[in-house]
Amino acid sequence: MRTYHLAVVVGSNRKESINRRLAEAMARLLPPNFEVSYPRIDDLPMYNMDLEGDRPESVNRFTAEIAAADAVAVVMPEHNRSLPAVLKNAIDWGSKPMENNVWRDKPTAITGTTPGAIGTAVGQQHLRQILGILGALVLGGEAYIQFKPDLLDENGDIANDGTRAFLQGHVDRFVSLIESLTPE
Ligand code: FNR
């Protein structure tokens, strides 16, 4: 059985990020032939075209990690009903130069959590639009999770059976998409 590499991009630079915790819980719903990494985005400088030609090391590291991945999962909060600036910055770095756009044809899934009842739903629409323009193959459907203190159990797993089943379905659909798009 082929091993797949999934890059999980957490769209938060907060140490205690609830999205990082959700991402780690969701990674445990993947089948055993999936390896996961968490590319950093918090050390990327603000995109500046003047830096093209001699890109900072952190930028080269990030874009190489995305380029090498079979697929990308974005797990992000929502900032003012959009995607957090730290994530948009990382996406911008990956999108240039156009011929090296790392997002093109990349199977990508979007999830996220905030304490708000519809938290991340609107932000996810913005992200979907951006990734669509960049040519990513974004999994259809929506998965936005309201964060409550009891969302995760003491092991960091999804505590509620219904929420876990819902997210397992989302993960399973993404796995099917990745497998259908990538050769054995
Ligand atoms: C927020 N937050 C927020 N939440 C939400 O559901 N919708 C929103 O539009 C916003 N807007 C927003 C703007 C800014 C600038 C901040 C700092 C926060 C609250 C946000 O969901 C909360 O801080 C989460 O804890 C962020 O997730 P991480 O960083 O813990 O993963």
Q: Decide whether any atom of ligand 1 lies within 6 Å of the 14 Cβ.
A: yes
Q: What is the pLDDT of residue 53?
A: 93
Q: What is the pLDDT of residue 31?
A: 98
pTM, entire model: 0.97
Q: What is the pLDDT of residues 83-102, one digit of tens each?
A: 999 999 999 999 999 999 99
The rounded distance, in Å, linking the Cα atoms of 166 and 71 is: 21
> What token pair was written down for 73?
């999962």
Give mean pLDDT in consecutive 10-residue pieces for the chain, a chain of 184 residues: 96 97 98 98 98 97 98 98 98 97 98 95 98 98 95 97 97 97 78
- The number of distinct structural domains making up the chain is 1
Which protein residue's CA is at the shortest distance from atom 6 of ligand 1?
A: 119
Domain that holds residue 127: 4-181
Token duo for residue 3? 């091993």
Helix (H, G, I), strand (E, B) or coil at 102: coil
pLDDT of residue 54: 96
Rounded to whole angstroms, the Cα distance separating 2 from 65 reads: 19
Residue type, 70: D
* Inter-axis angle of helices 121-133 and 85-95, nearest 10: 10
pLDDT value at position 1? 85
**Ligand 1 neighbour 55 (Cβ under 6 A):** no
Is residue 113 lining ligand 1, measured as CB closer than 6 Å? no
The CA distances from residue 56 to 91, 95, 104, 147, 170, in Å, are 15, 15, 22, 35, 35
Element containing residue 34 per DSSP (H, E): strand 34-37
User: The CATH number of the domain where 144 resides is what?
Assistant: 3.40.50.360
Question: Cβ-count burial of 133 within 10 angstroms (0-12 exposed, 13-18 middle, 19+ buried)?
Answer: exposed
Q: What is the pLDDT of residue 182?
A: 80
Ligand 1 mean position, distance from CA 147 (Å): 11
